[in-house]
Amino acid sequence: MNVIEATGRWVRFRIEEAGRAGQFLEEAALAAGSLRAWLPNATQQMRRLGVDSLPIGLLIAVFTGIVLALLASYSFTGAVPLYFVGTLVEKTITLELAPVLTGLALAGRVGANIAAELGTMRVTEQVDALETLSYDPEAFLVVPRVVAGTIMFPLIVGVAMIVGLGAGWLASLGFLQLSSDEFLKGARLFFGAFDIEYGLVKAASFGFAVTLIGCYKGLRARGGAEGVGNAATQAVVYSAVMILVLDAFWAMTWLHGRT
């Protein structure tokens, strides 16, 4: 096979893949209209994908909060008043680290979980069985997970913001001899509701992307255990990349230019 042929095959595969992804998106969007088909499963998925993911989200928030407080103190080195530690912790946690770090952790947990589960269902013909029983796999399997992810990611990130801020506060009290009043003064200094709004919207977009990619990769799995493993790996990698792309997208389109 020469280089031109190989390139042609690669390009054709990518175009076909984009077409399949587009068709999948369209089918999922149409399936979202049949509320009765997906609503009963959505609450169950919210528990599985959301509530069960809370511990990992909180763990990350605690350590991020502590590290941020100490990092801020180290960076200021006496040149900046120490109460700005509160400012830095609040801004960084709400705008960036709570959504992105939690999103990346959930991309691993939720994305792999969905891809492995749906992939197993695909290779063991359970998805075909659903179809023969007149269930629409998009409405029954995809929409509940995407809805659950889009709703639960911001909730987990919201709690992670509070816990991260709390951890930063306690670390400031314990390690930096900063008083509560000083930390809160710093935290309030440049605080705006936008910070939270921005972080939560970002988290919702991450939840949407991670669950959608997990479903797509899972339902496209082929060929037994190896296929399921590949689907789970690809779901995690693509989800992580998509989180970073979306992060940059929101920064460029929404954050940039705001005063």
Partner 1 sequence: MIKWIDVYKAFGEKKVLDGFTLDVREGEAVAIIGYSGSGKSVALKHVVGLLQPDRGTIEVDDKDVPTLPRRELYELRAHIGYVFQFAALFDSMTIGDNVAMGLRKRGELSEPDIAHRVTEALELVDLPDVQDQYPAELSGGMRKRVGIARAVALRPKYILYDEPTTGLDPVTSAVIDELMIRMRDKLGVTSVVITHDMRSAYRVASRIAMLYEGRVRQVGTVEEIQHTKDPIVRQFIEGRATLDGGDAASPGTSPATAAGGATARGGGRA
Stretch that binds partner 1, among 117-125, 183-191, 240-248, 249-257 (CB under 8 A): 117-125
For partner 1, the closer CB: 137 or 154? 137
**Out of 131, 181, 197, 226, the residue judged to bind partner 1 by CB under 8 A:** 131
CB atoms under 10 Å from CB of 124, counted, come to 12
Decide: helix, strand or coil at residue 135: coil
Residue 38: CB partners within 8 Å, gap ≥ 6? 31, 32, 139, 140, 143, 144, 147
Beta strands (DSSP E) in 111-155 are none
Minimum CB separation of residue 78 from partner 1 in Å reads: 59
Stretch that binds partner 1, among 49-57, 123-131, 194-202, 237-245 (CB under 8 A): 123-131
For partner 1, the closer CB: 122 or 217? 122
Does 23 engage in binding with partner 1 (CB under 8 A)? Answer: no
Question: Site size for partner 1, by CB under 8 A?
Answer: 14
Contact (Cβ atoms closer than 8 angstroms) between residue 37 and residue 31: yes
Q: What is the dihedral of CA 88, 90, 161, 245, to 10 degrees?
A: -60
Minimum CB separation of residue 39 from partner 1 in Å reads: 14
CB atoms under 10 Å from CB of 27, counted, come to 15
Query: Any idea what DSSP says for residue 177?
Result: -
CA distance 253 to 54: 29
Structure-block tokens of residue 216: 């797509």
Minimum CB separation of residue 132 from partner 1 in Å reads: 4
Does 129 engage in binding with partner 1 (CB under 8 A)? Answer: yes
**Out of 63, 135, 191, 254, the residue judged to bind partner 1 by CB under 8 A:** 135
For partner 1, the closer CB: 45 or 239? 45
Q: Which residues of 135-157 are buried (b: 16+ CB within 10 A; e: fewer)?
A: ebbbbbbbbbbbbbbbbbbbbbb
Does 128 engage in binding with partner 1 (CB under 8 A)? Answer: yes
Does 75 engage in binding with partner 1 (CB under 8 A)? Answer: no
Does 259 engage in binding with partner 1 (CB under 8 A)? Answer: no
CA distance 96 to 248: 11
**Interface map 77-106 toward partner 1 (x if CB under 8 A):** ------------------------------
Binding residues for partner 1, per CB under 8 A? 120-121, 124-126, 128-136
